[in-house]
Structure 1
Amino acid sequence: MTRLFRGVFIVWVVLRFGLDELFLTSFQKPWLRVIARIVSIGRNLDAPRGQRIREALERLGPIFVKFGQVLSTRRDLMPLDIADELARLQDRVPPFSSDVAIATIERAFQKKVDDIFVSFDREPIASASIAQVHFAVLKDRTGDAREVAVKVLRPGMLSAIEKDLSLMRMMAGWVEGLSNDGKRLKPREVVAEFDKYLHDELDLVREASSAAQLRRNMAGLDLVLIPEMFWDYCATEVIVMERMKGVPISQVDRLREAGVDIPKLAR
């Protein structure tokens, strides 16, 4: 029943943002083109198509936002105007309760948060579709206090992802079966790639391992700093890493004020 309601909601969003007008009119089935004309009556669809797709994905929630972000990197599949708009997608996801985050940490490590950290910021510094991040101070094995970032997986993600992926696979089959353009875009292959990407991201130990390998690869080059992983506190749902401080690469003026060599940074 939940899947049915979710499917109905997705169809409503598709109609609300006029995505049917964008896609159904290219289908080869005459009856679908008729439906597209009927459902387009009375709606204001003045916004560019890329903007409407982006806003629809945001309305559908975190998993669809993540899907749009992945699609934005596939400019071999997407028209440039749509790819550029999808690149603007950000994880505008409200944080989940800090009590839930603390409970997840304590369950993962079988210790109280106060026994792990000298201090733990209950207010997350960042919240995204898959996880959120808290700053903390960790007392390491040497007894030194280390500033760290604690990444905690959003609760209930696996079941939510499985439900939406199931619907995505079903819709991809429809698109591929009803449109020649759909066959060219290979929607089922795209969803399968997204499926693997998401499940990889749900395992934070895999992320920590990749970061540790990158740190080893870049050691001694004096080019980039990769945060250290604290392996005593890395699990599937939680990872603890060295806190890094810097300026976001998009804030060029701040980088220049800090004396950063912009051409060198670009290279």
Structure 2
Amino acid sequence: MVSPVKTAVQDIRRLREISGVLTGHGFSAVARRAGLGRFLGDSGGADVVEFEDDGDLLGGDRSEAAVRFRNVLEDLGPTFVKLGQVLSTRPDILPPEFIDELKNLQDRVPALSFEQVREQVESNLDGAIEELFEEFQEKPLAAASIGQAHRAVLPSGRAVVVKVQRPGISEKIRSDLDILYYLARFLEATIEEVELYTPTAIVREFERAILNELDFLQEAQNIEEFGNNFAEMPTVEVPEVEHEYTTSQILTMEFIDADKLASLEGGSERAIRVLDTLLEAMVKMVLYDGFFHGDPHPGNIMVREDDTIVFIDFGLVGRLSESQQDDLIDLILTILTGDVDGVSRSLLSMGYPVGRVNLREFKADITRIRNKYLAMNLGDIEVGEFVQETMNAAQKHRIRINTNYAVLTKAAMTIEGIMRELEPDMDIMKKGMPYAKKLATRRFSARKVMQGVMNSAMGFSGFVQQIPQQMDQILMDLEGGNLTITIKNESIDEIGTFLNTLGTRLFLGIIAAGLAVAAALILRGYDYMISGVSVMMIVGILLAIIALALFWWALSWHIVGGSASSKLRLEPFMRLFRKK
């Protein structure tokens, strides 16, 4: 068991490393705002690069800042590379320059030595590698931050791919997650600008995604679910899992002999046939199965000689509920019909506002975006750019889009790029219109409409049935004196506070006046003269001056602060710790 002290020391070293990398790439202002200023004294050996980013954390040129940000993530290692890949699916959070640059993130890690691979395989599968496999190639097919893949042959003669997880990667990622949570909470506590983005929610989403990716048994389940979904579609193939050779750190699956998608000649008849199959598969995944491949880049899609497409690497997947599928279909149909009100309603349904949304201004922005793309030829419309601008409009009006759509957005933009490479002259609207008609038929089918009517009717019926019981309860509470009605109104609350304060002061004033009069009457017979001046008059004058001073103090306290709330607000206090 690792001691807490050792863990804390490691975390401090990691924070110092992070601050050093940020400083080395010109993000010293970011490091300070993230609470890492105390670690900036040691840049970890990195050369400090100065940029004028103290006023604007992104600098003047966002494209150049985006390149530096990608370099930061690559230098910080696997956890931050994966974080960047997750952030590249969030056009509702990052500017388009950053989204485009994060697509180029590479897992710059050296391949594991064969001895490390052997140790991982043998410890997880409980046997010598020569006994477990008929053949096991030492040279990896591919290497990434979490694991690397090797060709092998089972004793049965079946060709397989063995995915081997890097030793110790789980512990390193979990340690980095702790640091990310610390940074996220610190940002939320000190910087107002991050309210809309909820860094802790992003880290929580990232944690769920990366821990699932670390569990190869979860990926095996994903592969099987995809295989079942496409069992009746012969033009799509998914490798089978070899469960006897699979653990949480070792994944063994069928090797499918296929070519890379990039090997197809764009615009050829074969490329167009493959494109149609790919589009049909994606529509089925998203809008019928509700379970889709989250990272369908060209390296994860292969094509066989008979034009069958093969999906691989199911570490990142996405899910949509039936209601979310309906919301997405509504958005697609309202975009195609130019229904601005419908687009606005769909976006609000797909997310939730942080504060009040000015619907008139929001609809005006949607109209502007629609008119911009309406002026283009349908074949020239870039769906990815349209989605990006729509997300920017939602972000501007403080509408936080549900995270379930984030992975889908990235996948759709990636697929669009692949489709345009396969058919450079593609009219994407013409290509998608048949599917839109099918979706409209499905969305507003008699069965779907009747199902909606039945659900509403059942809900209303249940509501009506509860009314007599609820009314009986209200009348019983009213009769027994147990019914209390509380009215909340800030103005009324302020009046009550004012009257209470005023009454207290009047009461104290009357008592003070009475005591003063009583004292004067009692001391009247004991008056003395000093140089012809009455001592009682001198004392009276002094007391009058003191009373006048106290009066003005009480009046000032009442006007300036007496009627205000006495609660302590921490926000101004926390701002004292911020670097301006």
Tell me which residue corresponds to 1:182: 194
Measured in 2, the distance between the counterparts of 1:19 and 1:203 equals 34
Measured in 2, the distance between the counterparts of 1:226 and 1:159 equals 31
Given the alignment of the two structures, is residue 221 of structure 1 paired with residue 233 of structure 2, yes or no?
yes
The aligned runs of 1:1-267 (5 Å cut-off) are 1-21=9-29, 43=50, 48-140=64-156, 145-249=157-261, 251=262, 253-254=264-265, 259-260=270-271, 261-267=273-279
Post-superposition shift, 1:253?
A: 4.6
Matched residue count: 251
2:236 alignment partner, SS class: coil
Classify 1:179/1:44 alpha carbon distance in 2 versus 1 (closer, same or farther; 3 Å): closer
Could you tell me which amino acid in structure 1 is paired with residue 26 of structure 2? G
Tell me which residue corresponds to 1:38: none
2:25, 2:49 within 8 Å by CA — same for their partners in 1? Answer: no
Measured in 1, the distance between the counterparts of 2:278 and 2:140 equals 31
Cα RMSD (Å): 2.6
1:177, 1:183 within 8 Å by CA — same for their partners in 2? Answer: no
Runs of at least 5 residues in structure 2 that lack an aligned partner in the other structure: 1-8, 41-47, 53-60, 280-580
Measured in 1, the distance between the counterparts of 2:119 and 2:110 equals 18
1:133 alignment partner, SS class: strand
Could you tell me which amino acid in structure 1 is paired with residue 23 of structure 2? L
Determine which structure has more spread, i.e. the larger CA radius of gyration: 2
Post-superposition shift, 1:259?
A: 3.1
State, as a whole percentage, how many aligned pairs show the same letter: 31
Cα deviation, 1:152-171, whole Å, max 9, x if unaligned, reads: 11100121011111111111
Post-superposition shift, 1:151?
A: 0.4
1:173, 1:188 within 8 Å by CA — same for their partners in 2? Answer: yes
Measured in 2, the distance between the counterparts of 1:257 and 1:115 equals 46
Measured in 1, the distance between the counterparts of 2:169 and 2:49 equals 37
Measured in 1, the distance between the counterparts of 2:108 and 2:269 equals 29
Could you tell me which amino acid in structure 1 is paired with residue 95 of structure 2? P
Could you tell me which amino acid in structure 2 is paired with residue 4 of structure 1? I
Measured in 1, the distance between the counterparts of 2:275 and 2:101 equals 27
Could you tell me which amino acid in structure 1 is paired with residue 173 of structure 2? I
Measured in 1, the distance between the counterparts of 2:113 and 2:215 equals 21
Measured in 1, the distance between the counterparts of 2:180 and 2:198 equals 13
Post-superposition shift, 1:258?
A: 9.4
Could you tell me which amino acid in structure 1 is paired with residue 237 of structure 2? L
Classify 1:24/1:203 alpha carbon distance in 2 versus 1 (closer, same or farther; 3 Å): same
Post-superposition shift, 1:265?
A: 4.2
Cα deviation, 1:142-193, whole Å, max 9, x if unaligned, reads: xxx1111000111001210111111111111122222222121111110011
Measured in 1, the distance between the counterparts of 2:95 and 2:120 equals 41
1:212, 1:228 within 8 Å by CA — same for their partners in 2? Answer: yes
Q: Which moved more, 1:108-117 or 1:46-55?
A: 46-55
1:22, 1:49 within 8 Å by CA — same for their partners in 2? Answer: no
Post-superposition shift, 1:6?
A: 1.1
2:26, 2:49 within 8 Å by CA — same for their partners in 1? Answer: no
Classify 1:52/1:203 alpha carbon distance in 2 versus 1 (closer, same or farther; 3 Å): same
- Give the helix-richer structure, 1 or 2: 2
Measured in 2, the distance between the counterparts of 1:262 and 1:229 equals 25
Post-superposition shift, 1:247?
A: 3.4
Cα deviation, 1:1-28, whole Å, max 9, x if unaligned, reads: 2221111010011111123446868x9x
Classify 1:148/1:50 alpha carbon distance in 2 versus 1 (closer, same or farther; 3 Å): same
User: So what's the TM-score if we normalise by structure 2?
Assistant: 0.41
Measured in 1, the distance between the counterparts of 2:259 and 2:218 equals 26
Could you tell me which amino acid in structure 1 is paired with residue 145 of structure 2? S
1:247, 1:255 within 8 Å by CA — same for their partners in 2? Answer: no
Classify 1:19/1:63 alpha carbon distance in 2 versus 1 (closer, same or farther; 3 Å): same
Runs of at least 5 residues in structure 1 that lack an aligned partner in the other structure: 36-40
1:150 alignment partner, SS class: strand
